[in-house]
Structures are given as C-alpha cells and as structure tokens.
Amino acid sequence: MAAPAASASISTAPQLLSCKKPSFPRFSTVRCSSLSHKTLADAKSAITDPAPVFRTVESFAPATVANLGPGFDFLGCAVDGLGDIVTVSVDPSVPPGSLSISSISGDHPAAVSKLKRNPNMNCAGIAGAAVMRMLGVRSVGLSLRLHKGLPLGSGLGSSAASAAAAAVAVNALFGGVLSAADLVLAGLESEKKFSGYHADNVAPSLMGGFVLIRSYEPLDLIRLEFPSNRDLFFVLVSPEFEAPTKKMRAVLPEIVRREEHVANASQAAALVAAVIQGDVRVLGSALSADLIVEPKRAPLIPGMVAVKKAALEAGAFGCTISGSGPTAVAVTEDEEKGMQIGKKMVEAFMAEGRLTASAVAAKLDRVGARVISSTTSD
C-alpha cells in the first residue's frame, strides 16, 4: 500500500505532540517522554468521556525497520511507501465504550485470512481500545476497518503499523489530545500480546524518522533527526518465507561475552552518531556489524548470509536483517543504485535459499502515522 499524503484537515502527526527540542542545539533530536506514567493505566488523560470531533477518521502508519543491526530492541526507523490503513467510525450499533472490527482487507490475501476480527485478538483492535480507555470514552461505540498493506511476519513491523494507525485514528476522532508517548503505550499493549514488549517498531511507526528507546519505566523516547539535505534509501528485499517474531527471539542468547557487548555497544553508538550527522557510509558500516543477534538469526533465513554478501559486493554501505526477518535491508544514497543492489539480493535469495523475493528501494519516512481523511460528526 503506497503511503498517502498527510491530511491538511487535522494535525495529529504524533512527533509534534508533547515532544520538544533539547536545550542543547548541537544535536538534531526530538525528545518525547512519558515521564509521569509508566503504564497504560497511569496514562489516562484529564479529559474523560470526550465527545467525538469527527464521525470518521482514516489514518495511515508506515512500515518500520527495527534493530538496525546493533540497535537490538532500542532503535528503529520508519520507511516510506509501505504501511497499513485504519478507518475508525462512530457506530451506534456498537455498545458504548466498545470497539468492534467490521472488516479486514489487504494486499496480501494469505495474511488477511489469518487475522481475527475479535478486537481482543487483533493488533489494531487492542491499540484502538487502549486509546479509548486512556480517553475514558464511555458514551459512544466505534467500528474499525483495517486494510493491511504489509504481509505478516515480514520483519517490517506489520503488527506495529496496524497498532499505530489505529491509535492515531481513535485519538484524532476525539480531538487528538493524547501525546506521542501515550500512543506508543497504547501500541505497546498490542505488541506485548503478539511480539513482546518492545517499542522499536511502534515508536518509529507513530513518530516517523529514527527513534531511540531510552527506557520503558518511565517511557522515554528520543527521535533522531536525519539531516533533510541528505539522501538515504533502504533496499528492502522480502523473500516468500515467514519468520515469526517469537520463533526468531527464541534463538537469542541470554548471556553474551564481554567482548561482543563492547563491540556492539560501540557500533550502536556509531550508528546513532551517523544518523545525526547524516553519514550514510558509517550508518551502513555500523548496521552491518552486529555480533550478537544477526549471527543467531541469519541461519534461520535460507540464503541470508549470501544475500548480505551480494548486497555489499553490489555497493551497499551495509546490510542486515530487518527486525526479526526474513526481510533483508541494505542502505545506499542513490535510488537507482538501490534497485541494482536489490536485484542482486533477490538473485542471491533464489540461488542460495531457493526463495522467491521482491525488492523495493524506500526513503526514510519522516512523518510517521498520520490522518489521511476525516468527516465531521455533523
């Protein structure tokens, strides 16, 4: 699903809500903290049972690349051009204070068939209901329609995109009063059920750009600004192979060697510095240097080792597994070069892994989840 343009009718871009530039101007970052509440139960707005501002709100949330090599579970970014769409409407047939899922459609029929319309068993439903509880909505019921632009188990933050789109849509329906950190907490309720309590997908999907998760208790997010005058393309190569997050997390070591920890920490620091400075070469080099997670996961993705080698030989500055996989991600400064790199990676997946794959070169999504249309309640 191509990313729609941001709506001009309502401003709910989460990175603008309760986020601030730090007092020291040398580093281009945005801080977005939820320092007064640690859990969803603590994050309720002072407004209770608000009246809806709109009758219907449609929102889009982008795909994400989490981990970025050594940034396991604390760093991720949003990518342009792929994502999920959620439409939320006031529905008199739904019991007040409740949310129902009226339909699920998508670009990947196999994925759609696996999704449940029970809102307690659906990423979008859980996040949307969490926002309703935060707001104290009791007088109206909502119905939700989900359009999946992302496949399941792809390593592109599929569940997080659904959760982010739903959270933004419900928040906007009632005037957009919740902060970005509040919406991340709502998204984490969904992530916790399906893939674990980590925000490196849902935070960048909501806020756009690169997001660093500094802590969870209290929730403290740092949005890193990649320079707007620099080009950055992610080559996303997705094989026809499913890598469930829980399975891919199960292979990770509980204990790591000191040398590996030090090496990964230094590469993660270099990665953050490269983002702020707009240095794509260093970004790629650091992204490729994970010694802890990638070596355990790569053997579970047929052909992944050869795919990374092909990407680097084709001129990519770096390559690793996107999220928990199976999508491989490489970085470059040029879109045409990115497609050439993607072609070599696709060929490697087929030659070494016997997997059909598709490639796309995507820019950084700097906006994050946004409202794309709305109708008034009049």
Task: List the CATH number of the domain containing 345.
Answer: 3.30.70.890
pLDDT at 21: 40
Do 197 and 282 fall within a single domain? no
Low-confidence ranges of the chain (pLDDT < 50): 5-30, 34-38, 45
Do 92 and 213 fall within a single domain? yes
Task: List the CATH number of the domain containing 176.
Answer: 3.30.230.10
| Domain extent for 186 | 14-224+371-376
Do 348 and 206 fall within a single domain? no
Domain presence at residue 3: no
The DSSP element (H or E) to which 76 belongs, if any, is strand 75-90
> What is the total count of domains within the chain?
2
Cα 61 to Cα 70: distance, rounded to the nearest angstrom: 25
pTM for the predicted model, two decimal places: 0.87
CA distances from 148 to 58, 63, 232, 288 (A): 13, 11, 26, 30
Do 212 and 245 fall within a single domain? no
Do 46 and 102 fall within a single domain? yes
Do 179 and 286 fall within a single domain? no
CB within 8 Å of 250: residues ≥ 6 apart: none
